[in-house]
Chain A
Amino acid sequence: MRKLLFINILLSLLVTGVSAQDDVYPAKEYKGLLFIKNATIHVGNGQIIENGTIQVNDGRIEKVGKDIPIPVDDVKVFDVKGKQVYPGLILSASDVGIREIGGNAVRGSNDFFELGDYNTNVRSIVAYNADSRIPGTLRANGILFANSIPQGGLLPGASSVVQLDAWNYEDAAYKTDVGIHFNMPSLLSRQGRQQSPDPVKQGLENIEEVKQFFRQAKAYLNETVHKETNLKFEATRGLFEKKQKFFVHCEIVREILIAIDFAKEFAFDVVLVGASECYQVADLIKQNNIAVILRQEHSLPTLDDDDIDQPFKTPAILQKAGVLFALNDEDESTRYRNLPFNAGTAVAYGLTKEQALTAITLNAAKILGIDDRTGSIEVGKDANIIVCEGDILDMKTSIITDAFIQGRKVSLENKQTQLYERYKTKYGIN
């Protein structure tokens, strides 16, 4: 018994190390074959494969299905019998890596809010700090990718998708500059006491200025040689060529109508972010092929009169209308690690479990333009896979045991697990 305890302590010392998180290493590239077997595979597209096997080669999924033979030679095999296997979860709207300490008391830890209204050329990826303490806690909950978005002003810049197990930002970059963001001025007529007399009119004027910006940008891009280079205009090229999405951050129906207007005038690929009132015009959003990222499902209804569960059931309304949507978690107090539970709540209010999973995997990948590489456990995609003891959407059973990014088995440790070990040691508890 004493010996066992000793080993336990030794083990925990080994994982704990001396200084916080510095000994949690990004996983090394894994070459060759890797198998996950006896899995209940939640593909991400709605399908479930019971008792299946995933064959990974050089980080890519090569085969998925039943009865896939596993060679006996030197390959890695993970037997996950009784466990659930999912695609790595994707946080589609966040400030991971550019905002470390919340609130405003530690300004130096923040790099997400730039000055100026027209910053299409500003890019979050160059400030992404791969050593942030946030990604470790996300990995531990199965979240392997994040879209990190700059804020501030009308056009705060371009966001990038990062994988959350990296040495530096170049390492982390999964797809850079996936889209340009637009913070639409509020068109809610709050007659605030110190606000401009007509905030709606003011908002519409600002929106018109943004449109003028894009009209000029378009004209500028039509010209091949410029007398003077305009970096802000140059940065919009991808939008006009439909290589980038146009993320419109807005909430109410009037704003959504304006967002649709942008799609019509500039033929942009528009994604609504937030859009808490979108359920009122779900069919219209569908008709215009606009995607939605519901920023935070765990939120309160807009008005006292609203259905008390409105935010919880909005995903089901979008699903029914056929809108492409992703669920998200932007909760500042828990730092986004409850993404699967935002999806789980949607299940309690109308989605199927697989639909809810799709909303935090394949749909998110489609919206971010990375569905050719991830978002589901399908042949040809990167092996971005998580293994969970039970239902990932229900906190009671949502315990991640393994996670793979591009076939690399990544660490699920982080400062929190290490402090846990440290104090279990102090008190001699298990």
Chain B
Amino acid sequence: MMRKLKWLYGLLFLLLLTSLMYAQETFPVNGVADSRSGTYAFVNATIVKDAQTTIKDATLVIKEGKIISVGASAAIPKDAVIVNCAGKYIYPSLIDIYSDYGIPIPQRQQQGGGFFAAQQFTTNTKGPYGWNQAIHSEVNGFALFNANETKAKPLRDIGFGSVLTHQKDGIARGTGVFVTLGDDKENLLIVKEKASTHYSFSKGTSTQSYPGSMMGSVALLRQTYLDAQWYKSKPAKEGVNLSLQSWNDNQNLPQIFDAADKWGDIRADRIGDEFGVQYIIKGGGDEYQRINDIAATKASFILSLNFPEAQNVEDPNDARFVSLADMKHWELAPTNPAAFEKAGIPFCITSADLKDAKQFWTNLRKAIDYGLSETKAFEALTKTPATLLGVYDRTGSLDAGKLANFLITTDPLFNEKTKIVENWVQGKEYTVNNDAWINASGNYNLVISSGGTSSNYVLEVKSATSANVIAKDTLTGKFSFDGKMIQLSFSPVASKKESEKAKQKADVAVIRLSGVNNGAIWQGNGIDTNGKAVLWSATLLKATSATDSIKKRQTHVTGKVIYPFVAYGSEQIAKQEDILIKNATVWTNEKEGKLEATDVLVKGGKIVQVGKNISGGSARVIDGSGKYLTPGIIDEHSHIAAFSINEGAQSITSEVRIADNLNPEDIDIYRQLSGGVTSSHILHGSANTIGGQTQLIKLRWGVNDEALKFKGADPFIKFALGENVKRTAASQGNTRFPNTRMGVEEVLMDGFTRASDYQRQLKEAEENNRKKGAVPIVVRRDLELDALVEIMNKKRFITCHSYVQPEIISTMRVAEKFGFRVNTFTHILEGYKVADKMKEHGASASTFSDWWAYKLEVQDAIAYNAAIMQKVGLNVCINSDDGEMARRLNQEAAKTIKYGGATEEEAFKMVTLNPAKALHVDDRVGSIKVGKDADLVLWSDNPLSIYAKALYTIVDGTVYFDREKDLELRKQIAEERNRLIRKMIAEGKSSGTVSPAKPSTHIVLTCGDHAHNHALLEEDGDDVMNNNNQIEMK
């Protein structure tokens, strides 16, 4: 009974406490009204109003949760409680713009996708919402928000007074709510209920299959912008769609995009540009690696201080697997905020993503040590976020009328030893370090009295946790002081010898004192060495002045940023040069054929002269004596240099684009340059019948994603047929149409039939809308059908994954029905069976030299395929579809000599001129001809020989691979690794925080067609994509 009552009282007390101060008028009072104004005057403080204004000996007056006045001569109201802040500093409380405080973290219902996993085609969300489970623009942070004291306290303790909080889940995440970190009712904590709206590339807890790739996320966002626009016309067929409605309603709010990394930042910004939106971008912490590209987004950024920990690399067998890039990032990540400041990019700082809130100040000070100015750091946590969110009139500085959100600190905020004493939120006091109110350090006269006798000591307080008692000797005491309560115990007998000390430890006679700080005097009671009660007091003799805690900022020597930010990157990207290659055997691929002892002159990225005894003026001369010069290799079918390859969630995904997720830092670019490759056609995978839009690139090592593109080339798209698209190897049975080659053909028929109708509707609408007074017809823009219309209009071209003969024929017939041609059949291992029909249709063929038996549909694949198709008169290419083999495409071409007796020239054209033709770029590349791009390879030997090595690989007159320089780079990599490992070991030892060594895996993307496992640390991109979506959920 008693216990129960106690519990009830406790509950009542809590209720009273939370509604004590500024009760809402609508809420009935249970008891006696207790309205208080909460007027305080903080006097004698150094007040930092904002980054520009500091006032010494100033007063801050607050009332009813707001600031009344600030200044050196601020009037103190009569009813104010006066708080003496002599020696203290007052700052506006910090603002965290990227929080999920008080918002539930949603859980994923089931395991995610993967290439062969079961599929979910529509949303599982119930209600009048959109089709995709990852788009929940209808979610409102304010509706989900519940104040949570256990989560609020750690944030307040590190200085935050308010946060923008939202549900971190999905691609469109709905709105964020701006709240303070007080512990009142939510009604009073919400500063702005709709303060922002949020986006990301990660589908989060969505169990729906689409999107299953980065490209798909981009396409979904783009299509949703279009759909939302269309929804404004109130299309009857759509009914009520609250997702689109909210999307439209919230467009005027600040738009915040969690872009996850530097390429994501740029990618997000491009989407924004397309739809007239400037996102505020939450970065990934690696932006310093491409700061100029980041600056070009013109976005404001949100930066986390989640710097990587040192890894335990003491064991060489662990250090072995940690990459240079990961170690360099560890070293340079703390420079990220400083890089933003230097580049003049506006940014906020968030405490998000930290393992432990306590890391916040450690890492913020680290960022300052690494070049961030204190002023910028302060603004990034106050004015900048408040301004971006349109709440600077409410918080972010100490000005009259704003929320009384402020910090009282012992010293200037960014000093090493500074402590936050109190954090006031909406005029309410929250103690952080009570002990720090008073600098207790100093010497005290300690009097211990018992039964009329008293002993005097000097109590030397060093800090809130350490003190000595000085009698004849200096006695080490156990001391604690929390600002109010004092505990002290010490042994009055000193033991000088260490050994005696140890002996005594077990049973030492100690005096134990406990007391309270009454301001001028500390006093209390205790027990002496004999167990008798004593009383004691302590009065200050002499205060020790606080030690100057301004630490000299360390200067940090770090390695340099390299481009790209992986091994074999350089501080300077290779530059275009004028080059004269002298006296080489030149394989022209033109009617001149092979030319002995010939010179080739390159200027301005083009081949300008081919002949004997050319004078190159100031051009760099490369001696080609005894060597072979050829055009660069063009890989018609590749999956390197991208962040995702397959969007397999639907049978038609022509809306996705490889170009949306190029990865110019893939080491395979460099490795393939070493094999003489200069251009690669990056294809979507073969997960579905109509896959995504492809991207032709040039292997320009070190440039950004945009500069990687082969400019001016015709756009292509990937199609696929057969086993993969009917999901023969699906782990849980196939549920996606089609399941047979019959269905595959109908997917094509359906797609182009719809595209034809769509094209007609667009045209009709356009004609109608031109008429005066006509009721406008709004046709929904469909990115998927747009691409198919382009195909039908011969503005986009198909490269089609294909194997067995019926699917090849039926696809050609579908194309013919709709008046276009299949440009290229890729894989095409049974092309030899229908080569005559392909010739008639006008398709090119891009195949493997000798692949077979890796699945049922390649049982009839033969190594003579290329030779037969060539002899029938097709334009035949040999491609890699494989990150390893692409380094040896010259050898793959040579196999057509072995299998089918091609001539050397015919063979070599299959990896140069023929793919150039298939890709419609033979006016630019593919042969050595005056006027063409200087994409050249100098080989050590006959380029079709297995013994040949590329010595120089040149793209646009730029030497991106030089075998001599490669040896130099290896040395540099080894030295840099060694330096970083030593530094990491040292830092691990000094900081005491190390995480286990984490092997740096290489993510490999494949078409999902066949085995691609080529190295120990490879990770399948498909798995990574689906797991990443989960990590986000924590």
Contact = CB atoms under 8 A, between A and B. Distances in A.
Interface string A34-64: 0000000000000000000000000000000
Contact of B856 (A101, A417, A420): A101
Contacts of B944: 396
B1011 A333 contact: yes
A259 to B, nearest CB: 14
B1034 to A, nearest CB: 11
Contacts of A364: none
B358 interface: no
Interface stretch (A166-174, A302-310, A370-378): A302-310
Contact of B1011 (A332, A394, A398, A419): A332
Interface string A82-111: 000000000000000000111111100000
Nearest to A353: B947
Given A305-B567, A308-B671, A395-B895, A103 B321 contact: no
Contact of B946 (A277, A394, A427): A394
Interface in B74-107: none
B117 interface: no
Interface string A275-312: 01100100000000000000010111111111111000
B9 interface: no
B323 A303 contact: yes
Interface in A333-375: 333-335, 337-338, 341, 344-345, 347-348
B891 A395 contact: yes
A296 B1012 CA distance: 13
Is the contact region of chain B dominated by helix, strand, or loop, or is it mixed?
Answer: loop
B1015 interface: yes
A293 B506 CA distance: 64
B884 A344 contact: no
A429 B854 contact: no
A191 interface: yes
A213 interface: no
Contacts of B850: 334, 337-338
Interface in A379-430: 393-399, 415-417, 419-420, 423-424, 427, 429-430
Contacts of A337: 850
A20 to B, nearest CB: 9
Contact of A334 (B835, B851, B891, B904): B851
Contact of A303 (B671, B674, B868, B1017): B1017
Given A299-B884, A301-B1015, A334-B850, A193 B323 contact: no
Interface stretch (A2-10, A115-123, A146-154, A248-256): A248-256
A348 B996 contact: no
B163 interface: no
Contacts of B852: 137, 333-335, 416
Contact of B947 (A100, A305, A348): A348
Contacts of B320: 252-253, 277, 280, 303
Contacts of A416: 852, 862-864
B680 to A, nearest CB: 16
Interface centre among A189, A298, A305, A394 (most CB of B within 10 A): A305
B324 A105 contact: no
B473 to A, nearest CB: 51
A300 B1015 contact: yes
Contacts of B1018: 300
A304 to B, nearest CB: 4
Contact of A253 (B317, B966, B1027): B317
A308 B567 CA distance: 10
B77 to A, nearest CB: 58
A102 B323 contact: no
A348 B1031 contact: no
Interface string B868-911: 10011000000000111100100100110110100010000000
B542 interface: no
Contacts of B904: 396
Nearest to B970: A307
Given A102-B853, A301-B1015, A304-B324, A193 B1030 contact: yes
Contact of B566 (A104, A251, A304, A399): A304
Given A302-B1015, A341-B891, A333 B997 contact: no
Given A303-B323, A395-B946, A427 B868 contact: yes
A305 B864 CA distance: 38
A161 to B, nearest CB: 21
Nearest to A399: B898
A427 B948 CA distance: 35
A175 interface: no
User: For chain A, which range describes its interface: under 10, 10 to 19, 20 to 34, or 35 or more residues?
Assistant: 35 or more
A277 B320 CA distance: 10
A332 B852 CA distance: 9
B325 interface: yes
Interface in B979-1034: 996-1002, 1010-1011, 1014-1018, 1027, 1030-1031
Contacts of A106: 855-856
Contact of A398 (B898, B973, B996): B898
Nearest to B674: A308
Most buried by A among B848, B851, B854, B872: B854
- Among B671, B1015, B1027, residue most surrounded by chain A Cβ atoms (within 10 Å): B1015
Contacts of B853: 100-102, 133-134, 335
Nearest to B885: A298
A18 B850 CA distance: 24
A397 B320 CA distance: 40
Contacts of A308: 568, 670-671, 674, 966
Nearest to A274: B1016
Contacts of B1011: 102-103, 332-333
A231 interface: no
B900 A420 contact: yes
A86 to B, nearest CB: 16
A334 B1000 CA distance: 29
Contact of B325 (A253, A277, A304): A304
Given A102-B855, A333-B1011, A429-B868, A396 B728 contact: no
B977 interface: yes
Nearest to B1002: A304
A11 interface: no
Contacts of A301: 671, 1015
Contact of B1016 (A193, A251, A338): A251
A251 to B, nearest CB: 5
B219 interface: no
Contacts of A252: 317, 320, 1016
B946 A305 contact: no
B832 interface: yes
A189 B1016 contact: no
Contacts of B1016: 188, 251-252, 276-277, 302
A413 to B, nearest CB: 12
A357 B1031 CA distance: 49
A190 interface: yes
A103 B855 contact: yes
Which of B860, B891, B900: most chain A Cβ within 10 A?
B891
B836 interface: yes
Given A296-B1014, A338-B850, A348-B948, 15 more contacts: A102-B853, A104-B729, A191-B998, A252-B317, A298-B884, A304-B568, A308-B670, A308-B671, A333-B851, A333-B1010, A344-B946, A348-B947, A395-B897, A396-B898, A427-B868
The 6 tightest CB contacts between A and B, nearest first, are A102-B854, A344-B946, A305-B567, A300-B1015, A420-B864, A416-B862
19 contacts: A188-B1016, A188-B1017, A194-B1027, A251-B1016, A252-B317, A254-B317, A300-B1014, A301-B671, A304-B325, A304-B667, A305-B323, A332-B1011, A337-B850, A341-B946, A348-B947, A348-B949, A395-B895, A415-B860, A427-B871
Interface of A: 100-106, 133-134, 137, 188-191, 193-194, 251-254, 276-277, 280, 296, 298-309, 332-335, 337-338, 341, 344-345, 347-348, 393-399, 415-417, 419-420, 423-424, 427, 429-430
